[in-house]
Amino acid sequence: MHEDQVDPLARFRWHPEPELLGIGDEATSRAALERLGAAAWQTSLDYLYREGVRRGTSPASYAELRAGYFGPTGKPGSAPAGPTMSREILAEFTARLAPYQLNPYHPGVLSYFTPPPLVLSIIGELLAQWVNQGIDVYQAGPVGAFVEEEVDRWLCDLVGYDEASWGVLTSGGTMANLMALTVVRDVHLARLVAAAAAGLPPTAALDPACLAAGGVPAFPAVPRGAGLEGVRVYASDQAHFSIAKALDILGFPAPTLHVVPSDERFRLRGEAVAAAVADDVAAGLRPLAITAVAGSTNTGAVDATGELAVVAAAHGLWLHVDAAYGGAALLSSRDAGRVPDLARADSITIDPHKWFFQAYDIGGLLVRRQDDLRQTFHRTPEYYRHGNPGEDPIHWHQYSFEGTRRFRALKLWASWKHLGTSGLGRLVEMNDDLAAHLAARIAASDDLEAIPDGFPDLSVVCFRHVPGGRARASALEAADPTALDRYTDLLCEALVRSGEGWLSTTILRSRTYLRAGIVNYLSSPAAVDEVLASLRRLAPASAEAAGLPGT
């Protein structure tokens, strides 16, 4: 009899907790796993209530935190040579890691788009890690492939796409934007080039039937190298940095990105893009695509998607909308009108780990035509054997830049079922209402000023504190143009170090502003008021440190 049949843990007894390695036998391991699970859950809740809801983040500076973590050398040490007990690892997390996190659960954390994840999203992530499916080739995650197809259909339905559409989950918005622009290059640019060669107008590239009638194949040869020159992609000055990064990665020359100024509320308008397209056509260039944004990272602004769709249709341009943040407004029947016309886009980026309140990571790319996505990314490695003859299962690697992919869909599937669309929409509405509350407080306060003025498009509010009132701002900047910028940075840092709140800063029209990106469903009007009170309390010391005149 083999020793494993006598002692299922025999091969693992070199470890002090062999029952946590040789977990295949329920009789020898289940009790130990239950104890570890209970201890891990207890550790998680200790973090949540002792740290997560207590302060926004650690008061330590980068240098202090680095020295505290790595020790006197300030550098990582060697890997552990031998085993460590699980209870010691959990204890180290509590002592060494838990106190030094950015805590999205704290009601004063109103900064980057890092929401407190829904509990069922956390549970979905736990279950996904246990089953450990690879959502690439069907056989590596059979039912997982169906869960992703189902969740992607929910997302396509949400934005108003029809049954011909398709979606694929990604690591986040940057990957989704990269993949979208890959489709633009390999599908739409190829069709534009082929249409021109066949004597067809650029608008034919948006109509496969028209291309076919002109003798153009559905998927012409894709341009590379010199074939990418003279192309133009239009975006506003508020577009996410990943758009420029994607064009670089995809081999487009630097002038490809044509940045069109946004309007007074930081929105890209159709008239401005139409004028840019006309200028480029007159210069002999090839307009290719418009990349709009529905909920910019900087300001939450929503571009005029309907106007841009008209321009795109008139000139045969692909319309991509980066709705990584703002697309979730469609969950609310009340607030869906804030992000209109998304269904008119050819492709859409949407990020559930932003305003769907999901644990990291989960983004998504949606396209109006499934075949465009498959044609761009379809490859068949020799070791991916695709099932039985006559079957045509879903192989997600054919729709994505990524090969092996995590079972990201399960957490969104679980939490969407738990709350329903209406429940998720309620949380979005709470954040929009909180942004409106903050904007109202700013409008009513002489020592605060927002940019732009008025009601926010979504749940981002950019503002600054002006010691002595708004009338003093011009005088301060006349005396020292950078004084308020220095002050704003120092004030934000003081707030973060206080633990009483967490805002970020951004640059708008060459000035530094505080930025509240509200995706925290645990926050409240009282918490927002407390953050403003903290800013005012910290203002005198920050003004003095910034060298503001009169302090």
**DSSP labels for 128-169?**
HHHHT--SSSGGGSHHHHHHHHHHHHHHHHHHT--TT-EEEE
For 77-91, 233-247, 375-389, which range has the lowest pLDDT when averaged over its residues?
A: 375-389
Q: Tell me 449's DSSP state.
A: E
Dihedral of CA 280/281/282/283: which sign?
Answer: positive
Is the per-residue pLDDT at 18 higher than 80? yes
Contacts of 105 (CB under 8 A, 6+ apart): 48, 52, 53, 116, 522
As a whole-number percent, the residues of the chain with pLDDT over 70 amount to 97
Q: What is the CATH number of domain 133-406?
A: 3.40.640.10
In the chain, DSSP finds a helix count (H) and a strand count (E) of 18, 11
Q: Is it the case that residue 386 has pLDDT exceeding 70?
A: no
> What confidence category does residue 391 fall into, taking pLDDT thresholds of 50, 70 and 90?
confident
pLDDT-derived band at 536 (thresholds 50, 70, 90) equals very high
The Cα–Cα gap between 413 and 125 comes to 11
Closest to 536 (Cα-Cα) out of 511, 486, 500, 483: 500
- What's the pLDDT at 214? 85
Band of pLDDT at residue 139, cut at 50, 70 and 90: confident
Lowest mean pLDDT among 147-156, 234-243, 378-387: 378-387
> pTM to 2 decimals?
0.95
Task: Say whether domain 419-546 belongs to CATH 3.90.1150.170.
Answer: yes
Residue from 504, 502, 501, 172 nearest 354 by CA: 172
- Per-residue pLDDT at 13 exceeds 90: yes
- Cα distances from 541 to residues 269, 492, 501, in angstroms, run 42, 12, 17
Which segments of the chain belong to CATH 3.40.640.10?
Answer: 133-406
Q: Tell me the C-alpha distance between 314 and 484, whole Å.
A: 45
Using an 8 Å Cβ cutoff, are 161 and 230 in contact? no
Q: Supply the pLDDT for residue 385.
A: 61
- The residue assigned the tokens 């904007």 is 439
Q: What is the pLDDT of residues 417-456, one digit of tens each?
A: 999 999 999 999 999 999 999 999 999 999 999 999 889 9
Quote the CA–CA distance of 429 and 519 in Å, as a whole number.
10
Bridge partners, 508 (sequence order): 511
* pLDDT at residue 379, rounded to an integer: 80
Q: Using CA atoms in the order 235, 238, 242, 246, what is the torsion angle rounded to 10 degrees?
A: 20
> What's the pLDDT at 400?
94
Q: 175-213 in b/e burial notation, b at 16+ Cβ within 10 A?
A: bbbbbbbbbbbbbbbbbbbbbeeeebebbbbbebebbee
Structure confidence at residue 416 as a pLDDT band (50, 70, 90): very high
User: Considering only 17-31, 90-104, 305-319, 468-482, which range has the smallest mean pLDDT?
Assistant: 468-482
- Mean pLDDT over the full length of the chain: 94
pLDDT at 276 over 70: yes
Which percentage of the chain shows pLDDT scores above 90?
85
Query: What is the pLDDT averaged over residues 47-61?
Result: 93
The predicted pLDDT at position 551 comes to 61
Residue 54 contacts residue 492 (beta carbons within 8 Å): no
Which residues of the chain are in CATH 3.90.1150.170 domains? 419-546
Q: What is the pLDDT of residue 1?
A: 55
Looking at residue 533, what is its pLDDT?
97
pLDDT band at 474 (very low <50, low <70, confident <90, very high): confident
The DSSP H or E segment spanning 245 is helix 241-249
| pLDDT (tens digit per residue) in 149-184 | 999 999 999 999 999 999 999 999 999 999 999 999
**pLDDT: which is higher, 65 or 478:** 65
The pLDDT value given to residue 152 = 98
pLDDT > 70? residue 544: yes
The band of 525, judged by pLDDT with boundaries at 50, 70 and 90, is: very high
